[in-house]
Amino acid sequence: MITIDNYFEISRNIDFDKLPAALQNGNKLTKGASPNNWSAYNSNENIKRVVDAYMQKLDEYLKKNPPEKPKKEASAKVKTEKAKPEPKAKKTEKAKTPVKTKEEKEPEAVEKVSLEVQFIKRYVGMNGKVKTQDEILRFLNTLQKAILEKRIRKTSPYAAEIEHIQSQLIKCYEKMDESIEITIEKKTIEKYLAIAGSQKAMLSVSYIKQYISLHGKANVKEKAQALMAKIKKAVDKHKVTKDDPYADRLQKLFNSLNDYIKGDTKAPQISKSELNGLMGLVNFSQKKSPDLNGVDEDTENPEVIRSTELAGMEFETIGLQGKYRELIGDPSVGFSAMVYGLPKSGKSTLCIDFAKYLAQNHGKVLYCAIEEKFGYTLKEKIERLRATHPNLYVAETVPEDLSDYDFVFIDSVSRAGFDLEYLRQLRQDNPKTAFIFIYHTTKEGNFRGKNENAHEVDVIIEVANGKAKGNGRFGVGEVISLFS
């Protein structure tokens, strides 16, 4: 079996150029490491999982296709052959690349710049700048999360560039001290700048976003006039035409701004149904925006979309992996869950372990230990489950402000006596926060408000006899042991 301890010794006898493409790409994951330095592998769960999977696949392939030991002379020839043509290739590319980049491709106008292009643009923007370890790690984590959530796929036209960026960030993180000046090769910069400039947001969509930031607000006449001037100029110069798919909507927004400037309305505003459609277009969240005061309550014509549009929408998921993905699937951001079972059944053990996993991999977690409070039993569980982590916080009550947390556990709703309306309000006030509510049941398996609460949440987890079973909107989960 190939492991991190024997990988480098085994890899000396492998001609990676003859391996399948997937394994060639996998080899790039280890290029930033050395036989005695696997710091990124040991400190990042995502990197560890990817590297382990690669080594397993490589091991399976080599068992079926044992490598021949390469001759030293042959490898020397390969190096020589690769080294000779490089200067000529560089001279040719230097002469031709700038001309092609400038003359051939105009940026493609898109509703939303693709995520891959956004990452490439962000990577290029680091060139020549001093970055800290935390900044490099945040970039790397964000990139890997997008890959795990399949928002960036292997079929992407820029998959190779994204993989290169990931390997370079890992290599940089492993070799750097507290900070480092980023230097990207000139050839790579030229290529990536061309990609970064290959897409631009449609002007109409850009203006729609700007309008939404003004909607329902008073005392924004200067900004409204400036936006009107931009729209008029774009139309006059034929940068936005009648053929634009959002021309009609933009005209409505222009009229709304004009009415506001003339004094016919107290703020730029359109009907609520129209606003809903615009916010869906540009991925705004109504729940999160505090600026929807003064919205026209005309709901006679609610926004209707085609099924093809719905199929094309992207929804952000948590990106769960391992046993918790097996238990509840991969829920969306801001999901809610009910965990219930008899007293002493292991509900808190499950939830503290789940909280630890979320803190290690997915964000900031608050565990409201209303029942046990800051007592010995809670301390014992946290120590036994090794749940100490800088992203995991503990409270004895539910704080008024939960905006800093991505996940909130309430243990238990039964002891706190919270009613359904209070829980609804918590979710409404914090739409991007996931809530995990813990309940006690009677010996008969019942508790107050069970049916009503079950209908309100996305996921239901039953804990009994040291095992948990999940069910909900993200799939029927498998049974997992609390002590595995």
For the segment 198-223, what is each residue's pLDDT rounded down to a tens digit?
888 788 888 888 888 888 888 888 88
Q: How far is CA 177 from CA 130, 136, 169, 181, 280, in A?
A: 12, 11, 14, 11, 43
Residue 336's pLDDT band (cuts 50, 70, 90): very high
- Based on the fold, state whether residues 300 and 390 are members of the same structural domain: no
Does the residue 94 lie in any domain? no
Cα angle 200-167-54, degrees, rounded to a multiple of 5: 120
**Shared-domain flag, residues 305 and 328:** no
Higher pLDDT, 408 or 269: 408
* Positive or negative torsion for Cα 449, 454, 457, 462: positive
Judge whether 26 lies within some domain: yes
Does the pLDDT value for residue 79 go beyond 60? no
pLDDT in tens, 56-71: 888 888 877 777 654 4
Residue 447: which of 437, 458, 459, 433 has the closest Cα? 437
Tokens of 273: 């149904």
374 with 261, same domain?
Answer: no
Does some domain include residue 47?
yes
Residue 79 is assigned to a structural domain of this protein: no
Residue at 214 is within a domain: no
| Same domain, yes or no: 271 and 342 | no
Q: Does one domain contain both 387 and 470? A: yes
Q: For residue 369, is pLDDT > 90? A: yes
Q: How far apart are CA 26 and CA 167, in angstroms?
A: 10
> At 435, is the secondary structure helix, strand, or coil?
strand
Buried b (16+ CB within 10 A) or exposed e, 326-342: ebbbbbebbbbbbbbbb
Has residue 101 got a pLDDT over 70? no
pLDDT-based confidence at residue 14 (cuts at 50, 70, 90): confident
Tokens at 397, concatenated: 């009550």
Q: Which of 53, 73, 93 is the last residue of a domain?
A: 73
pLDDT score at 333: 87
Angle at the Cα of 353 (from 350 to 359), degrees rounded to 5? 140
CATH number at residue 472: 3.40.50.300
For strands 392-395 and 130-132, give the pairing.
unpaired
- The predicted pLDDT at position 157 comes to 87
Determine the Cα–Cα distance for residues 46 and 273; give it in Å rounded to an integer: 41
pLDDT of 415 reads 84
Residue 144 domain boundaries? 104-200
pLDDT single digits (tens) 276-290: 667 666 554 333 333
- 257, 227 Cβ separation under 8 angstroms: yes
Please indicate, yes or no, if residue 389 is contained in any of the structural domains: yes
Q: 475 and 328, same structural domain?
A: yes
Which helix (H) or strand (E) segment holds residue 340: the answer is strand 336-341
Q: What is the b/e burial string over 147-178, where b = at least 16 CB atoms within 10 angstroms of the residue's CB?
A: bbeebbeeebebeebbbbbbbbbbebbbeeee
pLDDT number for residue 85? 45
Q: Is the pLDDT of residue 338 over 90?
A: yes
Predicted structure pTM score: 0.41
Task: List, for residues 462-475, the tens digit of each pLDDT value.
Answer: 998 888 988 877 76
Same domain as 194, residue 237: no
Least confident range of 80-89, 286-295, 445-454, 460-469: 286-295
Least confidently predicted of 25-29, 141-145, 434-438? 25-29
Q: Which of 36-40, 218-222, 393-397, 463-467 has the lowest mean pLDDT?
A: 36-40
Q: What is the pLDDT of residues 297-311, one digit of tens each?
A: 333 333 455 565 555
* Beta-sheet pairing, 336-341 with 459-464: parallel
In a domain, 90, yes or no: no
What pLDDT is recorded for position 339? 92
**pLDDT value, residue 410:** 95
Tell me the CA distances in angstroms from 212 to 140, 220, 278, 301, 348, one per residue in order: 32, 12, 8, 20, 43
End-to-end CA distance of the chain: 24
Q: Which of 77-81, 214-218, 356-360, 404-408 has the lowest mean pLDDT?
A: 77-81
What percent of the chain clears pLDDT 90, i.e. is strictly above it? 19
Considering the domain architecture, whether residues 329 and 469 belong to the same structural domain is answered as yes
Higher pLDDT pick, 367 / 73? 367
Q: Is the pLDDT of residue 190 over 70?
A: yes
d(CA 320, CA 335): 12
Contact criterion met (CB below 8 Å) for 284 and 242: no
| Same domain, yes or no: 233 and 168 | no
Report residue 217 as tokens.
């607000």
- Kindly state whether residues 344 and 247 are assigned to the same domain: no
> What is the CA 439 to chain-centroid distance, rounded?
30
Of 157-161, 199-203, 211-215, 439-443, the range with the highest mean pLDDT is 157-161
Chain-centre distance for alpha carbon 278: 23
**What pLDDT is recorded for position 202?**
82
- pLDDT-derived band of residue 72, with 50, 70 and 90 as boundaries? very low
Looking at the fold, whether 342 and 425 belong to one and the same domain comes out as: yes
Gap between the Cα atoms of 284 and 83, Å rounded: 52
Q: Are residues 62 and 42 in the same domain?
A: yes
pLDDT of residue 392: 94
Residue 32 forms part of a structural domain: yes
Burial of 356 (0-12, 13-18, 19+ CB in 10 A): buried
- Give how many domains the chain has, as a whole number: 4
Query: Which pLDDT belongs to residue 138?
Result: 84
